[in-house]
Amino acid sequence: MAKQVGILTSGGDAPGLNAAIRGVGKAAIESYDMHVIGFKNGFRGLMQDRTMELPSDALSNILTLGGTILGTSRDKPHRMPIAGKEQDMTDVILEVYDKHHLDVLVCLGGRGTQKNALRLANKGMNVVTLPKTIDNDIPLTDTTFGFDTALGIATDAIDRLHSTATSHNRVIVVEIMGHRAGWLALGAGLAGGADVILLPEIPYDENAIAETIRARTRKGKHFSIVAVAEGAMSKAEAAEFEVARAAKDNAANKEAKQAARKALYEMDAKHANNTLRLTEKLEALTGLESRLTILGHLQRGGTPSGADRILATCLGTACADLIADKHFGVMVAARGDNAEPVALEEVAKMRKTVPLDHPWISAARHIGVSFGNE
Give how far Cα 333 sits from Cα of 214, 309, 312, 314, Å: 44, 15, 11, 10
Q: Is 317 exposed, middle or buried (0-12, 13-18, 19+ CB in 10 A)?
A: buried
Hey, what amino acid is at 205? Answer: D
Ordered DSSP codes for 21-86: HHHHHHIIIIIH--EEEEETTHHHHHHTT-EEE--GGGGTT-TT--S-TT-----BTTBEEETTEE
3-state class percentages of the chain: helix first, strand second, coil last, to nearest 5: 45, 20, 35
124 phi and psi, to 5 degrees?
Answer: 110, 0
Sign of the alpha-carbon dihedral angle for 150, 38, 318, 116: positive
Give the Cβ contact number of residue 32 at 10 Å. 14
- Which candidate in 75, 135, 148, 195 is catalytic? 135
Beta strands in 101-181 (DSSP E): 104-109, 127-131, 171-176
Annotated active-site residue 13? The verdict is no
Give the active site residues.
Answer: 135
